[in-house]
Structure 1
Amino acid sequence: MRLEGKVALVSGTAQGHGRAAALRFAAEGALVVAGDPIHQDALDTQRLIARAGGTALAPAPLDVTDEGSVRSWVDEAVGAFGGIDIVYVTTGSVRFGDLGSRPYDNVARTMGVQLNSVWPTVRATWPHLVRSRGCVLTVCPTTGPTASPLPPRAARSASRGSLVALTQQLATEGAPYGVRANCVSSGRPEDAVSAALFLVSDEAADITGANVVVDGAWSCFLPGVTP
């Protein structure tokens, strides 16, 4: 029960990383506030947590790029549980393509959606994290710290790298208040969630500004080579 009594906001809980984190955090004693634009699937995650004996809310459909939607989500969490200790935020969808062939609006969307998936949530939760000396955990694939021609993904790699840089900036600004921020760069949700659990727990009280790569050495290999 490493997160017993902690209030954890988790976005993207309809599937993938968000759902895996919500289930694992609840199993470790956290009070989970789930959110996803696909609200029915977020409610399914809430029900899975309840069946396992955990506690979770899924107040309404969540658009993490909309400040009003995020603010309502945060208000629901604080109203129900009195504060926020953990913010676990996943990023939006991206499109692949090489530098020369992609239209600018396609590139701009990819660049924008990554940071816009994180910024409103962090902004709305920051005062609560300062009060609780809480933490932020962002998640991105290993294209954050690496590049690759297979498939072509210039904008995706740039946006993921920006997310890692933003996480480090949050760590810098949060340090005077005891607020930590870390990133997990990974592929499979079941691999990422164990690292995420450690980073949001008190066991990682001195770790902030880190980008933990959990990919079975994939990012160490030459393009096209499978570990």
Structure 2
Amino acid sequence: MKLEGKVALVTGSSQGIGSAIAVRLAKEGANVVIDYRSHPEGAEATLKQVEATGRKGYIVQADLGVVSDVRRLVAESIQYFGQLDILVNNAGVDGKNADFWDVTEANYDAVLNVNLKGAFFATQAIVQHLIETKRKGKIINISSVHEELPFPHFTPYCASKGGLKMIARNLAVELGSLGITINNVAPGAIETPINTNLLNDPQKLGALLQNIPLGRLGKPEDIAPMVAFLASSDADYITGSTFFVDGGLLWNYHEQ
């Protein structure tokens, strides 16, 4: 129970990686705020799993692409639990597969607003709370191998994840003296709803698996333990780093 007495906010935790993280943090002793944008049934399912661990959960609907929603999410979380100690910036979208010259402003905004702007202002809001209450805290961004690895035809997505990399590095310097750490967890190919089309295409799936030395896609439960570690006191001397959880994909990837 390394997170006993802590409260964690996990954005985009109604399904997939976010849900697995919320449940894992609860198992480690944290009470958890579950955020969703458009899947209330998923949020309720996550809440039941959190409560099954004996911890408390609280659901808030918010669109991370809207700054006023982000600020309300953090404020409601603090109002309900009285504190926030851990922020997991998990909410994200991958956008449309498009040649760079065909990317629309709407597509660009849809991806960057959630993946980068939402994470930026959620982090800002919890940092302000930690400063006001004179407490230390942990921030973990769910990035992607594509903060490092090119992903042709998904340039806005790569830009958003590259931005998360530099936010973590910059804030590690700015926030270090406050006792606030910030790190990225970068998943590879994971079995989540966002990859449904891939999972249903044997040819594309087979080609991808050839790039993964461990020979399988990851599962949300493969990501959650790293987040739990970074949220705990075991990681007090780690900040500004990215941890790849990808089965070896990053160093073995090549375009088919």
TM norm structure 1:
0.90
* In 2, Cα distance between equivalents of 1:20 and 1:46: 11
For 2:44, give the aligned amino acid: L
Q: Secondary structure at the match of 1:93?
A: coil
Say if 1:148 and 1:223, in contact at 8 Å, map to a contact too: no
- Distance of aligned partners of 1:81 and 1:109 in 2 relative to their CA distance in 1, 3 Å threshold: closer
Q: Which residue of 2 aligns with 1:66?
A: 66
Say if 2:65 and 2:113, in contact at 8 Å, map to a contact too: no
Indicate the larger mover: 162-171 or 205-214.
162-171
Indicate the larger mover: 172-181 or 67-76.
67-76
Matched, 1:196 2:197: no
- Distance of aligned partners of 1:75 and 1:112 in 2 relative to their CA distance in 1, 3 Å threshold: closer
Query: Deviation per CA, 1:7-36, whole angstroms, max 9, x where unpaired?
Result: 111111110111011000001100111111
Runs of 4+ in structure 1 over 6 Å off: none
- Distance of aligned partners of 1:157 and 1:67 in 2 relative to their CA distance in 1, 3 Å threshold: closer
* In 1, Cα distance between equivalents of 2:104 and 2:244: 31
Instruction: For structure 1, list consecutive stretches of 5 or more residues without a partner in the other structure.
Output: none
Deviation, 1:79, is 2.3
Deviation, 1:53, is 2.0
Query: Deviation per CA, 1:147-169, whole angstroms, max 9, x where unpaired?
Result: 144xx322222221111111222
Q: Which residue of 2 aligns with 1:3?
A: 3
Q: Which residue of 2 aligns with 1:16?
A: 16
* In 1, Cα distance between equivalents of 2:74 and 2:2: 23
Query: Deviation per CA, 1:67-103, whole angstroms, max 9, x where unpaired?
Result: 3323332223222322111001113212222323333
1:1-227 → structure 2 map (5 Å cutoff)? 1-37=1-37, 38-58=39-59, 60-95=60-95, 96-130=97-131, 131-149=134-152, 152-187=153-188, 188=190, 189-224=220-255
Deviation, 1:104, is 4.4
Say if 2:187 and 2:246, in contact at 8 Å, map to a contact too: yes
- Distance of aligned partners of 1:219 and 1:137 in 2 relative to their CA distance in 1, 3 Å threshold: same
- Distance of aligned partners of 1:111 and 1:35 in 2 relative to their CA distance in 1, 3 Å threshold: closer
* In 2, Cα distance between equivalents of 1:103 and 1:62: 25
Query: Deviation per CA, 1:139-189, whole angstroms, max 9, x where unpaired?
Result: 02211111144xx32222222111111122221211111110000000332
* In 2, Cα distance between equivalents of 1:108 and 1:71: 19
- Distance of aligned partners of 1:221 and 1:8 in 2 relative to their CA distance in 1, 3 Å threshold: same
* In 1, Cα distance between equivalents of 2:28 and 2:93: 29
* In 1, Cα distance between equivalents of 2:76 and 2:112: 29
* In 1, Cα distance between equivalents of 2:105 and 2:35: 30
Q: Secondary structure at the match of 2:126?
A: helix
Q: Secondary structure at the match of 1:220?
A: coil
For 1:81, give the aligned amino acid: F
* In 1, Cα distance between equivalents of 2:65 and 2:103: 23
* In 1, Cα distance between equivalents of 2:113 and 2:67: 15
* In 2, Cα distance between equivalents of 1:112 and 1:85: 24
Q: Secondary structure at the match of 2:157?
A: helix
* In 2, Cα distance between equivalents of 1:112 and 1:79: 25
Say if 1:4 and 1:29, in contact at 8 Å, map to a contact too: yes
Say if 1:144 and 1:157, in contact at 8 Å, map to a contact too: yes
* In 2, Cα distance between equivalents of 1:222 and 1:47: 38
Say if 1:135 and 1:180, in contact at 8 Å, map to a contact too: yes
